[in-house]
Chain A
Amino acid sequence: MMIDWAHFTPWGSFAGGLLIGVAVAAFVLIHGRIAGISGILGGLLRPAGQDVGWRIAFIAGLLAAPALYALFTRLPSATIEAGFPVIAVAGLLVGLGARYGAGCTSGHGVCGLARLSPRSLAATLAFMTAGFVTVFVVRHVIA
């Protein structure tokens, strides 16, 4: 295995992780809920849209984060290699899969692992493995 030292950001990523952890901890303490993004968003699409207010507020907070960050320093750039058709297919799979699997990287990968949930560990291993295989196929088999 070859480490990409040029892009590896252990400290920045760990610090960002700590902030996400504070948000997760605050959410369970204040609201008594899991800060799982796909669940918060998906809950708005239920027939009897439950707790619409706080769900929209949380999503609005995520959307407003770049504006707050940009007040202090330049936003880091994002490179999105995939083309529009691939992005659309990917979005569909992410939305469908996260709801069937009852969570995504935040709900299972962060909150679930923090709670030592065996279900979330299984889900995390499943989506990580699928992600590893997908990138391998896209980058090293097809390309």
Chain B
Amino acid sequence: MSVLTSFLTGLLFGVGLIVSGMTDPSKVIGFLDLAGAWDPSLAFVMGGAALVGAGGFRLAERRPTSILGGLRQLPGTQGIDARLILGSATFGVGWGLAGFCPGPALVAFGAGYDKAAVFMIAMLAGMVMYEFTERRRMARATDE
């Protein structure tokens, strides 16, 4: 059941990305290019998604568990630290260079774009690098 609903949710998310125009990197870069001819479309995507999403989170909070029965696993509200800001800024540089973030890159990969495939492989490599540095950090922390 969770596999099916997860697949359908991913499918809907992906169709939403295509409809929104965000699977085209030149449109994302058009939003990020404040000094050129500016395309504000991305703000409308985020606005529409956050609006409906907010309703979903409100409804979810009224339930003790999720519909599938598990407990909600939402991120906690730790403080704002250097990791969050530096990590996000690093992400933003890559996002600006390619015009891809993870969701649209996966959809464009599904549509058969070579460059999206290269982006995906490099992105997975970056995620693996994170896992290695995290494990080293954890090991150091337990040694001390």
User: A87 touching B115 by the CB < 8 A rule?
Assistant: yes
CA distance A50 to B34 in the complex (A): 40
Report the separation of the CA atoms of residues A55 and B27 in the bound assembly, to the nearest whole angstrom: 28
Decide if A28 touches B57 in the complex (CB within 8 Å). Answer: yes
B38 to chain A, nearest CB (A): 6
Q: How far is the CA of A81 from the CA of B144 in the complex (A)?
A: 48
- Asked if B10 contacts A58 (CB within 8 A), the reply is yes
Interface of B is mostly: helix
Q: What is the interface residue range for chain B against chain A? A: 35 or more
Bound-state CA distance A138–B35 (Å) is: 11
Q: Tell me which residues across on chain A come within 8 A of B53, comparing CB atoms.
A: 20-21, 24-25, 28, 110-111, 114
Q: Are B20 and A29 in contact (CB under 8 A)?
A: no
A interface: dominant SS: helix
Number of interface residues of A (CB under 8 A): 115
Residues of B within 8 A of A116 (CB): 54
Nearest CB to that of A11 among chain B residues? B44
5 tightest Cβ-Cβ pairs between the two chains A and B: A25-B56, A61-B10, A16-B20, A95-B126, A17-B48
> Can you list 14 A-B contacts (CB < 8 A)?
A16-B20, A22-B16, A25-B53, A26-B56, A27-B6, A37-B13, A61-B10, A61-B12, A69-B15, A80-B116, A94-B101, A95-B122, A134-B92, A135-B34
